[in-house]
Amino acid sequence: MSAGTDRPSDVQLLDHIWGARPGFIGWLGQCNHKAIGRRLVFTSFVFLLIGGALALVMRTQLAFPDNDVVGAQQFNELFTMHGTIMMFLFVVPMLKGFVVYVAPLALGARDMPMPRLNALGYWVYLLGGIFLLSSFAAGAVPDSGWFAYVPLTGPDYAPELNLDFWLLGVTMLEVSGIVTAIEIVTLVARFRAPGMSIFRMPVFVWSGFVASVMILFAFPPLVAGTVLLELDRKVGTVFYDASAGGDPLLWQHLFWWFGHPEVYIQLIPALGMAAAIVTAAAGRRMSGRTAVIASLVAIGILSFGLWVHHMYATGIPLLATSLFTAASFMIAIPSGVIVMSFIGTLWWGRIRWSSSVLYVVGFVFVFVAGGITGVMVAMVPFDWQVHDTYFIVAHLHYVLVGGSLFPILGALHHWMPKLTGRIMSEKLGGWAFALNFLGFNLAFFPQHALGMFGMPRRVWTYEEGLGWDGLNLLSTAGSYVMGLGMLIFTVALVLAHRPGAPTAPADPWGGDTLEWATGSPAPNYNFRSTMQVYSPEPLWDDRSVLGDHGPDGPDPDRPDWQRRLERPETGVRQMVATTGLDAEPDHIVTLPGHSLHPLWVSIALAVALVGVLIDSVPLGVFGLVGMIASAAAWLWPGVE
Amino acid sequence: MTRRLALLSALLVLTGCGLEPRDRITDPASPQASDIDGLWTLSLWLGVAVWIIVMGLLAVPLLRSWRQRRDASDRGRPASSDDDHLDVEVVCPPPADEARTRADATAPAAELDEPLAVADPHEHDDAQRDALARSRLLWLGGIVVPAAILLLLLIASGQVGSSTAHVERDGELEIDVIGHMFWWEVHYPELDITTANEIHVPVDRPVRLNLTTEDVIHSFWIPRVHGKIDMIPGRENLLTFEPTETGRFRGQCAEYCGIAHAQMVAFLEVQEADEFDAWVEQQQADAAEPQTDQEVEGQRVFIEAGCAACHAVQGTDAVAGVGPDLTHLASRGSLAAGIRPNTRDDLQELIVDPWGVKPGNPMPPTTLEPDELEALLDYLEVLE
């Protein structure tokens, strides 16, 4: 911007301001929501593949009775890490990644409101994941199941480091989840495009918002639970020690107070993804759109009243548990409303087929079945029979694969153009879907029967002659088919990004929401101009003001602040904040750009936790001091 | 379709290999298990009905769309861009609408929300017409019908719950079952019997189990007589049932309890009353005395080689209570918490290589001279 005649265009100026700094350090220090969102999506995809590979090893072991592919200890490590990776390292970060990438675009914002905090969320997640997986290298892999019941995980029965890896790693992941949730709630509350009143917000953004509010209430109890258990293990407190007046059931209450909302935190944004795909595919407004939003909120609230249905067999009196049956049943109503809305939308729209639509169809097929078995296991007496059996394994995979994985795979197809500017092969996508769908049902449907035949979950072997052989073999065969499906999906993902692969148009699906109004991939600054939104589907109505109205554009009377956002001569990143409900323009906020502070804070946190892990006070103190120092540098006024 | 295929192939595999499940929930042997089975049957049929209806509703638009695609390709013209997203090249975003840029930016926001938005404005009238049907689908399919079914199931669940939950009964046989890593200790407090892993009860008499644990959480479960209930440190849980059928029912620990969780099996032996009485009489007796020199030698090995540090044999100097009571070991049908038949070979393997038989077994391997081992086995076989 030297004093010359060639003044940079608005777009060049915006691109420069919102772009990453050059070089590796510039890449590392990116805080923009698109960089963070992409990182979350692709990192968690890698964890999905790792978690899936562990599952295939388990299914191989269980293919035949008295098999010895892996031993008891390895098997116990495998199912613990499979559950932990899928729950904490794949589903939640993947969903958050999509919300972080797509929500600001769908709201017409230029970034998340606190970009550096957003970066912190990613770095803590990445380091937490590496911390957990480093237990393989340390030879102390967590082996107590993903819900880590005491006293098996207490100091008496798990004296080695295995559980410390789990507790400290999971705590990091929870911190990361809370940080990102705060970020998303703030974004949704204050950074919607002018005119996008709360009920004009896209359903997907609603779902991300509901899930984030849930995270704020659901994750702290688990942080409390894991900290208490770590104190029992490291300091010698007796919170969970029954012989000293503690109570092992306290852990179960704390864990499931987190754990039950958690499964809905994994479901709700996936429902939002499916809603986005269905709406775009049908070319119609979501049938019963307001009812769908109300249902998402209802599920979010009700999910906090269900945790005891994981504890029916603990001896809690029947009257109390029956109330949880009723509460669990209630959640079927909003779920039913949502499913009916999806069907209604497809029914009255004209379906434009794509792989993402296939995944939504697969989602309805599988999720409804999982919901029905969910109603069954919510009945106390029936749950006494099938609790902790393969019936539950089948149920939870029907709900989570149907309700989370399928929509996520569909969303990867749907939003890949926006994420990277590339479009995944529909041909490979169709094959991957067919194999995933077939393999999934083949792998998990027989497990219902296995549970009915008395096979408990988490068994590394079983004897011949119990009548479990054939079904287990079938289930293993199905899991291989699904493994092949995931392999093809991964190939399609990689091929789409090979040099010279076709690039995606801005709006390949005829979408309704604002992210399709900008380029693919979204430019650094997201949108050149401030938009004015008049309906929930701004790209389909004929009133909303979108896109590129430059100095010679049709709206010369736009307010001065909009001109300044279009041409930020100040050279800083700015976007408009709006009011909470009606989204009236309120004020302009200035956002930080490049920053390495979040990375330093995360590394210092990891160092401190390694200190706790290996009982090294100096290392712990070093990490703590590092955290304080890097946080101080982060917050120091005037220094970016 | 896939489900039916899966079910079908599952049945084929089952029948093909002649693998009848040994114990299943749907083959109840007590009124409690029978009530729960009834609840399962009810919910299964309702669930299948709901699933089929929902899939039917889903199938209508899908089939229609497929038919349209087929018709379009039959007529030899390329499918419209609406129908074909399989080919990226032909996909065009809707043309930028001139009207958009002419928006009335001053109109109050709230007044402009349309009841329906559609990508193609020509469909608007159709969309309006469909609104009523859509609202019916949502209300009936999403709320009214599910609520009615759920209410029915809630009542059924409550009734079965109260008929199967624990209540005090006259003449009930009281048994304490204590979970250990990784076996079950069994006491009959009124009969003064201690045994392990195999619970004998008479048919047609209420049984009450007092369930506790010695270490971590276990869960006691015999599918054919009742649901499971956890054994939790610091608590006692009760389970009552009334077996109505004789037989040897299998169950295994249902709460993950550590490395050998998979190999913690219990058997419930339901006997006719007179058989049960005979069993009680046998179990109440002290251990059989060794007769031959070999057996006497075996008893010496038992005490001196370390077995007695953990195991008790009533009537001898072995009184430890860490491992299962072996007073009547030879009368049991299985070894190592139900995972091996009670044969001499299995017993030998268990003594020599306990970690091979059951990884994580707290019992250490015992090194014995071959003749000492034979003597020990001879002695253990005496303990009828």
DSSP B91-112: --PPPPPHHHHT--TTS-GGGG
Number of domains in chain B: 3
Pull the structure tokens for residue A529.
């101009």
Mean pLDDT of B200-219: 95
* Residue A185 near residue A118, CB atoms below 8 Å: no
Handedness of CA A180, A181, A186, A191 (dihedral sign): positive
pLDDT bracket for residue B87 (50, 70, 90): very low
* Residue B174 near residue B190, CB atoms below 8 Å: yes
On whether residue B110 sits in a domain, the answer given is: no
Q: Which of B253, B284, B315 is the last residue of a domain?
A: B284
Helix A332-348 × helix B124-136 angle, to 10°: 150
Q: How many CB atoms lie within 10 A of CB A551?
A: 9
Q: B13–A470: do the CB atoms touch at under 8 Å?
A: yes
- Angle, CA A478 vertex, CA A473 and CA A479 arms, to 5°: 95
Pull the structure tokens for residue A598.
């979040």
Q: A333–B143: do the CB atoms touch at under 8 Å?
A: yes
Q: How many CB atoms lie within 10 A of CB A574?
A: 17
* Residue A51 near residue A90, CB atoms below 8 Å: yes
Of B44, B20, B26, B25, nearest to B254 (Cα)?
Answer: B25
Question: Are B122 and B244 contained in the same domain?
Answer: no
Examine the pLDDT at B377 and tell me if it is beyond 80.
yes
Phi-psi category of residue B76: left, alpha or beta, with phi > 0 → left and psi -120 to 50 → alpha: left
Scanning A308-367 for CB atoms below 8 A from B yields: 313-315, 318, 321-322, 325-326, 329, 332-333, 336-341, 343-344, 346-354, 361, 364-365
* Residue A608 near residue A168, CB atoms below 8 Å: no
pLDDT bracket for residue B91 (50, 70, 90): very low
Q: What is the pLDDT of residues B310-364, one digit of tens each?
A: 999 988 888 888 999 999 999 999 999 999 999 999 999 999 999 999 998 999 9
On whether residue B345 sits in a domain, the answer given is: yes
Sequence-distant (6+) residues with CB within 8 A of B90 are B78, B81, B84
Question: Are B258 and B363 contained in the same domain?
Answer: no
Question: Are B279 and B353 contained in the same domain?
Answer: no
Give the separation between CA A308 and CA A304, rounded to whole angstroms: 10
Instruction: Enumerate the residues of chain A whose CB falls inside 8 A of the CB of residue B133.
Output: 348
Give the separation between CA B32 and CA B164, rounded to whole angstroms: 5
State the CATH number of the domain containing residue B362. Answer: 2.60.40.420
pLDDT bracket for residue B102 (50, 70, 90): very low
Question: Are B156 and B10 contained in the same domain?
Answer: yes
Shortest distance between the Cα of B83 and any Cα of chain A, in A, equals 5
Question: Are B22 and B123 contained in the same domain?
Answer: yes
Give the separation between CA B196 and CA B7, rounded to whole angstroms: 38
On whether residue B104 sits in a domain, the answer given is: no
Is any Cβ of chain A less than 8 angstroms from the Cβ of B108? no
Question: Are B160 and B309 contained in the same domain?
Answer: no
Phi/psi at B340 (5° precision): -130, 150
* Residue B205 near residue B172, CB atoms below 8 Å: yes
pLDDT at B129: 65
Give the separation between CA A478 and CA A445, rounded to whole angstroms: 10
- Angle, CA A116 vertex, CA A408 and CA A166 arms, to 5°: 60
Q: Which of B284, B304, B321 is the last residue of a domain?
A: B284
Instruction: Enumerate the residues of chain A whose CB falls inside 8 A of the CB of residue B213.
Output: none
In eight-state DSSP terms, residue A402 is I
pLDDT at B112: 43
* Residue B23 near residue A454, CB atoms below 8 Å: yes
Whether cis (ω within 30° of 0) applies to the bond prior to A79 is no
Task: Give the number of beta-carbon pairs within 8 Å between A and B.
Answer: 407
Question: Are B145 and B1 contained in the same domain?
Answer: yes
Q: B14–A470: do the CB atoms touch at under 8 Å?
A: yes
Q: How many CB atoms lie within 10 A of CB A27?
A: 12
pLDDT bracket for residue B12 (50, 70, 90): low
Is any Cβ of chain B less than 8 angstroms from the Cβ of A65? no
Is any Cβ of chain A less than 8 angstroms from the Cβ of B352? no
Residue in B55, B152, B261, B361 to test binding to A, most A beta-carbons within 10 Å: B261
Give the bridge partners for B200, in sequence order. Answer: B269
Q: How many CB atoms lie within 10 A of CB B91?
A: 20
Query: Of all helices (H) and strands (E), which one includes residue A61?
Result: helix A33-61
Name the one residue in this structure whose structure tokens are 């701004």.
A538
Phi-psi category of residue B360: left, alpha or beta, with phi > 0 → left and psi -120 to 50 → alpha: left
Q: Which of B233, B250, B284 is the last residue of a domain?
A: B284
Of B174, B164, B281, B292, nearest to B228 (Cα)?
Answer: B164
On whether residue B106 sits in a domain, the answer given is: no
Residues of chain A with pLDDT below 50 are 1-4, 550-551
Pull the structure tokens for residue A151.
């006293």
* Residue A163 near residue A226, CB atoms below 8 Å: no
Mean pLDDT of B262-288: 94
Question: Are B33 and B14 contained in the same domain?
Answer: yes
Nearest CB to A534 within list B7, B112, B158: B112
Pull the structure tokens for residue B269.
């032996």
Nearest CB to B164 within list A338, A381, A457: A381
Give the separation between CA A553 and CA B101, rounded to whole angstroms: 9
Give the separation between CA B78 and CA B72, rounded to whole angstroms: 7
Residue in A199, A367, A534 to test binding to B, most B beta-carbons within 10 Å: A534
Question: Are B18 and B141 contained in the same domain?
Answer: yes
Give the separation between CA A627 and CA A606, rounded to whole angstroms: 10
Is any Cβ of chain B less than 8 angstroms from the Cβ of A554? yes
- Angle, CA B283 vertex, CA B282 and CA B289 arms, to 5°: 75
Q: Helix, strand, coil % (nearest 5) of chain B?
A: 45, 15, 40
In eight-state DSSP terms, residue A401 is I
Shortest distance between the Cα of A597 and any Cα of chain B, in A, equals 41
DSSP letter for each residue of A82-144: HHHIIIIIIIHHHHHHHHHHHHHHHHT-SS-SSHHHHHHHHHHHHHHHHHHHHHHHHT----S
Name the one residue in this structure whose structure tokens are 């296939």.
A358
On whether residue B105 sits in a domain, the answer given is: no
pLDDT at B88: 36
On whether residue B101 sits in a domain, the answer given is: no
Q: A315–B55: do the CB atoms touch at under 8 Å?
A: no
Pull the structure tokens for residue B186.
């069994």
Shortest distance between the Cα of A516 and any Cα of chain B, in A, equals 9
User: What distance lies between CA B86 and its chain's CA centroid?
Assistant: 44
Instruction: Enumerate the residues of chain B whose CB falls inside 8 A of the CB of residue A466.
Output: 21-23, 250
- Provide the domain limits for residue B151: 1-96+117-165
On whether residue B264 sits in a domain, the answer given is: yes
Task: For residue B209, give the 3-state DSSP assignment.
Answer: strand
Question: Are B215 and B149 contained in the same domain?
Answer: no
Question: Are B179 and B151 contained in the same domain?
Answer: no
Sequence-distant (6+) residues with CB within 8 A of A472 are A62, A63, A64, A65, A446, A450, A462
Mean pLDDT of B118-136: 70
Give the separation between CA B229 and CA A387, rounded to whole angstroms: 9
Instruction: Enumerate the residues of chain A whose CB falls inside 8 A of the CB of residue B354.
Output: none
Q: Helix, strand, coil % (nearest 5) of chain A?
A: 65, 5, 30
Give the separation between CA B95 and CA B112, rounded to whole angstroms: 22
Phi-psi category of residue A522: left, alpha or beta, with phi > 0 → left and psi -120 to 50 → alpha: beta
Mean pLDDT of B266-285: 95
- Residue ranges of domains in chain A: 18-496, 597-635
pLDDT at A555: 66
pLDDT at A558: 77
Is any Cβ of chain A less than 8 angstroms from the Cβ of B53? no
- Search chain A and give the residue with CA nearest B87: A426
* Residue A149 near residue A251, CB atoms below 8 Å: yes
* Residue A63 near residue A497, CB atoms below 8 Å: no
Of A472, A144, A392, A453, nearest to B261 (Cα)?
Answer: A144
On whether residue B356 sits in a domain, the answer given is: yes
- The CATH number fitting domain A18-496, selected from 3.30.230.10, 1.20.210.10, 1.20.1260.10, 3.40.350.10: 1.20.210.10
Alpha helices (H) along chain B: 2-17, 31-74, 98-101, 124-136, 145-164, 273-284, 293-304, 344-352, 354-357, 370-382
Give the separation between CA A180 and CA B171, rounded to whole angstroms: 60
Give the separation between CA B150 and CA B169, rounded to whole angstroms: 32
pLDDT at B16: 47
Give the separation between CA B151 and CA A329, rounded to whole angstroms: 9
* Residue A536 near residue B113, CB atoms below 8 Å: yes
pLDDT at A540: 86
Question: Are B326 and B258 contained in the same domain?
Answer: no
Phi-psi category of residue B214: left, alpha or beta, with phi > 0 → left and psi -120 to 50 → alpha: alpha
pLDDT at B132: 75
Alpha helices (H) along A108-236: 115-138, 162-190, 203-234
